Structure 1
Amino acid sequence: MTVGADLTARERLGPFRPGKDGPWDYSAAAHLTRRLTFGSPRKLVREILELGPRAAPAALLADRGETPEMKAVADSQRRIGSTEAIQTWWAHRMLRGNSPARDKLALFWHDHFATSDTKVRDARLMMDQVQLFLRRGPGSFHALLKAMAKDPAMLIWLDGNSNRRGEPNENFARELMELFSLGVGHYTEEDIKEAARAFTGWHVKNRRFWFNKRAHDTGPKTIFGMTGNLDGNDVLHACLGKRACAEFIAEKLFDYYLGTPVSEELRKALGELYLASSHNIGPLVEKLVSSREFYSVHARRSILSSPADFAIGTLRTLDATAIAERLPKEMSRMGMNILRPPSVKGWQKGRAWLNSNTLLSRYRFANSLAGSAENDPRIPWDKVEKEGAEGLLALFFPEGLDGKIRKTLFGETDNDLKLMVTALVELPEHQYI
């Protein structure tokens, strides 16, 4: 389906109607799993196809709990406590966990509230932050933002302990408005200065949030035209109450899951959708990925995959296992060092994911897939052989491939399935989800 120019923004965000707006078929279900989770494993796609476009998003976002294996991995990696150990835990969750849609959403929040262990220097606090995203990410954004304002890793990252009465540090106040809630243009420099005073005394002690009363500025402050003895909670409430916050968060989620251009009309409609969801992120995401716009032709394969989508998604599609310790390093070589985003703005996305070095790393990863059974990753070649070349092609591209590409692909691989896997993963089309 192509979303017509005659449709209003609200209509584009309205629910997808199978048959009238386009088919609800295997290709559509695979599109949903690629965007909402990582990859499109056949078993999951078939489950989603059976559920239908209305029920499937909620089912994917549901917390399915942790398996004993996942709990054991979490416990063992926390005991080790290194950055590498916590990266391994999260990569293992993404690949083998029960709730990949929650991990995909947690990855969004990790980028949104970009915090790096290079400065925090406490991987267990970073793990706590990721677990906060997993637990609260699909819930109320109000609750999540308030929790992040007291998150020890965040406060260390943005110099909370340096924010004291008489010597305010503006780092958290600035990022709160610019990156976390409102976006550029919806606050003044004076708002930031006054908000910094309101957050004085929000410190970390013994790895926990601590309100240092002696360091808090109790003087009158004026923020967004509101004057009084305001504290950090008042600032958070004021930010969350602005219409700009609704539009900012909804647009970022729209870009993450849909990736199509946003007009001013669509931005306003997204803000309305956020408010209609009562600030709850899970229901908002469900509406976004069950919309006409989501299933439109121009929304398919329109997002350049992140290293997590590329590596984890490829392995999940193939039902492959991998040594989890290696996955964060693979993703880092592709440009995404989880727990260590490059700046407070997170990762540059889109075309920025690809350069000569990161593309070469993707090709090397693709070539590693054709290794022997003793190698890592481990692909269940018996299942691949049952699929055959045509089945393998349909697994990765259920929507089909251009005839010339198909002809070249089959000619170059001569039906060798290991070569076929590598060739499919290297295709320009596979770089998009």
Structure 2
Amino acid sequence: MDRNTLWSLRLGFSGKQAQAIKKMGLPKFMEQSFNASYDRKVPSFLENSPKSLAELKARRQEIKKSDSAEVKELLKTELQVSQEMKAWWLQKMIAEEFPLREKMVCFWHNHFVSTFQKVKVNHWIYQHNQILREHAFGNFKTLTKAIIQSNAMVRYLDNVDNRREKINENLSRELLELFTLGIGNYTEEDIKNGAKGLAGLNLGENNAEYRRFLENNDTITYFGKTGKFKADEMIDIIFEQEAAPYLITRKILQWFVYDNPTQELITHYGDYFRKVDFEIKPLLIKIATEEFTKDNAGSKIKDPLVYILQLMDELNVDDINPKLLAFYLKQQGMDLFNQPNVKGWNGGKEWLSSQIYLQRTNVADLLCNGRNISRRAQMDDADLANENKNQLLNVSLNWTKSGTNKTVIAELENRLLFQSNENMRKDWETILKYDFNPKAEGADNAVMRLFNNMIKTPEFQII
């Protein structure tokens, strides 16, 4: 595979940025990605969703006073807003000239998990997503402080139930186990005392706030330090620990480059991450520029998002309803805003189960034939209910319409597959025969058949 295409897939969701990487060089491309602006305006679909505690309380009272049919309709409306938010985010991923920020938001989204299914307030989920976007390339410690004190997180990890008379350890535990240090780098006493420090951190207007009558002001010992610590001080202490840079460095390597990074690489980049005081931008630059020079194609299984957006880019598809895309991702086990649990999507081999692989081959056939990706979607959504099941999509492939069958095969190989062999090429030469004429009337159809065959191979599932 062409190296620029490979890194376009790794730093985005398709091969769309390959030419920009080639023209600018990777360092300049990344700098442009860091500097690209992003929209801070609250989307219109959230206009009628509760935004403040007062509005949320009023909505709850409305639900209490309503009959079952009205309650069902209110809940249905919020579910539809959640679907709109998935579509809104997918459109960002597709449309951005420099999609690295959205790629990083998706990484943080799966690190600091907080789902609509449990939080149930769309505006808080949106705020959570925007915090990730704002801090995507910033400081890991600063981001951790902001996310831990978001309404979505205190609701999702039950800190609304953590009060001085009745301690709930859920947020305290996941802060250490999943968000910062990892198992084996803290004690149960750290969790218990951390929960006391987080007690009373409850829902607020724009972010979580400590409630005076619920917080615990006992002196605690946290990682050997004694004092009356709250969230910010606790996180400062966490980031002083020896293990602080390595869990997140491992996960960043897994997200961008390797499903199974070596401990040597984790230590190498983790030590650097500590040296730059947990600044994300220099870490990403170091990882990308150093790994770009290596022969490491084939080290990571594509997640469903990269798989489907790469296909759409290759086929020049721009008329799929993004809600259908969101539903397809859900079928593939990558439901945006609704991970299966606080650990998030495991990735790796789980992205290539027999069921997922079968779904991928089915969607390859549908798209290559100009059909919608999921014509059997049964969703409680007007846009999808009205979707024409037989709607034809405009699909076309870009390929050099000169040369021979072998040059066309080589061109697609270079774009699509991390590796190939002589036996595969012989099979492809039975699809695109030796007397292939790129100027013939059926040439595009023949190349589309070749493309369809290539994207069903195991080699296409891996980057």
Same fold (TM over 0.5): yes
Q: Contact conserved, 1:334 with 1:359, CA < 8 A, in 2?
A: no
Shift of 1:32: 1.2
AA aligned to 2:342 is V
Matches within 5 A, 1:92-131: 92-131=91-130
Shift of 1:157: 0.3
Q: Contact conserved, 1:62 with 1:99, CA < 8 A, in 2?
A: no
Pick from 390, 402, 406: which aligns with 2:421?
A: 402
> Could you say which residue in structure 2 is the equivalent of 1:381?
396
Shift of 1:313: 2.5
SS of the residue corresponding to residue 222 of structure 1 reads strand
| Shift in CA distance, 152/403, structure 1 to aligned 2, threshold 3 Å | same
Shift of 1:342: 0.5
> CA separation in 2, counterparts of 1:432 and 1:62?
29
> Could you say which residue in structure 1 is the equivalent of 2:30?
57
Shift of 1:273: 1.4
> Could you say which residue in structure 2 is the equivalent of 1:83?
82
Shift of 1:171: 0.5
Q: CA RMSD in A?
A: 2.6
| Shift in CA distance, 385/159, structure 1 to aligned 2, threshold 3 Å | same
> Could you say which residue in structure 2 is the equivalent of 1:36?
11
1:323-376, CA deviations, whole angstroms, 9 ceiling, x for partnerless residues?
Answer: 211101111111111110001000121111122221121112111212348977
AA aligned to 2:36 is D
Q: Contact conserved, 2:419 with 2:459, CA < 8 A, in 1?
A: no
SS of the residue corresponding to residue 214 of structure 1 reads coil
Q: Unaligned stretches of 5+ in structure 2?
A: 49-77, 373-389, 434-442
Deviates more, 1:76-85 or 1:243-252: 76-85
> Could you say which residue in structure 2 is the equivalent of 1:219?
218
> Could you say which residue in structure 2 is the equivalent of 1:304?
301
> CA separation in 1, counterparts of 2:287 and 2:392?
34
> CA separation in 2, counterparts of 1:76 and 1:160?
30
Q: Unaligned stretches of 5+ in structure 1?
A: 1-25
> Could you say which residue in structure 2 is the equivalent of 1:349?
347
- Structure label with greater radius of gyration: 2
1:184 paired with 2:190, answer no
Shift of 1:169: 0.6
Deviates more, 1:413-422 or 1:281-290: 413-422
1:145-197, CA deviations, whole angstroms, 9 ceiling, x for partnerless residues?
Answer: 00001111111100111010121110000000000010111100010000000
TM-score of the two chains, using structure 2 as the length reference: 0.79
| Shift in CA distance, 400/36, structure 1 to aligned 2, threshold 3 Å | same
> CA separation in 1, counterparts of 2:414 and 2:315?
8
AA aligned to 1:408 is D
1:275-331, CA deviations, whole angstroms, 9 ceiling, x for partnerless residues?
Answer: 23331112211110110x44322x212100111111122223443212211101111
Q: Identical aligned pairs, as a percentage?
A: 25
AA aligned to 1:405 is M
1:88-139, CA deviations, whole angstroms, 9 ceiling, x for partnerless residues?
Answer: 1111111122331111111111111111111011223212212221121111
Shift of 1:263: 4.3
Pick from 325, 328, 337: which aligns with 2:326?
A: 328
TM-score of the two chains, using structure 1 as the length reference: 0.85
| Shift in CA distance, 169/377, structure 1 to aligned 2, threshold 3 Å | farther
1:364 paired with 2:362, answer yes
| Shift in CA distance, 386/203, structure 1 to aligned 2, threshold 3 Å | farther
> CA separation in 2, counterparts of 1:386 and 1:337?
39
> CA separation in 2, counterparts of 1:47 and 1:183?
37
| Shift in CA distance, 376/269, structure 1 to aligned 2, threshold 3 Å | farther
Shift of 1:57: 2.5
Q: Contact conserved, 1:369 with 1:418, CA < 8 A, in 2?
A: no
| Shift in CA distance, 400/163, structure 1 to aligned 2, threshold 3 Å | closer
